A and B are shown apart, each in its own frame.
Chain A
Amino acid sequence: MDLKVRYFASLRDRMGRSEEKVSIDQGKVTVADLWKKVSNAPLPETILVAVNMEYTDAAHELKSGDEVAFFPPVTGG
C-alpha cells in the first residue's frame, strides 16, 4: 500500500520534513499504524489527522493512494 503523508506547522518542524511517500506491506492499515511507522510512537491525542482532506481519527482504515495529513491544533482566524 502506497501512501502520501504530509506534516504541517510545528509537526513539520518536529518531523524534519513536510511530506513523504510511505509504503506498507500489510493487509489492513489504520491511521494509528501509519503514525507508528513514521514516528515509532503512539499517536498523541493532541495531533489532528485528515485523510484525503477530511478530518478523521486513529482507527480510520487506509487504502492505497490515500493522502494522510498529521497536524497540531489549528490557530487560524
Chain B
Amino acid sequence: MKVFITKDVLDPYKEILDYEKAALPPGKHGGVVSFVGTMRDFNDGQDVRAMNLDYYPGMTEHHIERVCQEAMNEWDVMDCLVAHRVGEMIPTDPIVLVAVWSAHRKDSFDACRYIINYLKESAPFWKCEVTTAGKKHWVEKNSEDPGVAKRVVRKSA
C-alpha cells in the first residue's frame, strides 16, 4: 500500500504504471481499477479559476491508510495506491488518484469505490475556491455518492 500527499502536479497514470512495476508481482493481478478526480472550472453554478487545498499533515495520511486497510480487509485486494494533491491548483489538474489491484474485477471495483467515497467523506482536506470574479470561498460540502450508504465518522479514540 502506498499513500502520499503532494504539492507537485500529479501525473496519475504514470503513478499507476510506476507503482505497478515496483510493487506488484508480474502475472498475479487480473486488473487495476482507478479513480482519478480532476478539478472542474465550475462548482455550484460559479466559474472557478483556481483552488487551494488545505490538509492536516499526519492525520490525513494516517486516515487514508486506515480506509485502504479497511478495503483490503473487506475485499480480496492485492494492493492500493492513493495520491492526493494539496496547495494551489487550476482547472483540469488531477486532484486525487485511487488505484486498486486485484485478481478479479469485482474486488477492485468495490474497494476503489469504497476508498474514494470514504476519503471524500472523512479525510481531512478542505477546498478553497477562487472564482473568475476573484472571490475566495471555502467549499462547504462535497457531493454525495447516492450509490453508497452514508458512513458516520467513527469515534476511534
Contact = CB atoms under 8 A, between A and B. Distances in A.
B126 interface: yes
Nearest to B127: A75
A64 to B, nearest CB: 16
Contact of B59 (A53, A72, A77): A53
A interface, size bucket: 20 to 34
Interface residues of B, number: 34
Interface in A27-77: 48, 50-57, 60, 69, 71-77
A13 B60 CA distance: 20
Given A10-B126, A48-B153, A55-B156, A77 B56 contact: no
Contacts of B84: 76-77
Contacts of A8: 54, 56, 124, 126
Interface stretch (B16-24, B103-111, B115-123): B115-123
A74 B121 contact: yes
B135 interface: no
A48 to B, nearest CB: 7
Given A74-B125, A74-B126, 13 more contacts: A51-B157, A53-B58, A53-B59, A55-B157, A60-B157, A69-B56, A69-B59, A71-B56, A74-B121, A74-B122, A74-B124, A75-B125, A75-B127
Interface of B: 37, 53-56, 58-60, 62-63, 84, 95-96, 116, 119-128, 138-142, 153-157
Interface of A: 6, 8-10, 13, 48, 50-57, 60, 69, 71-77
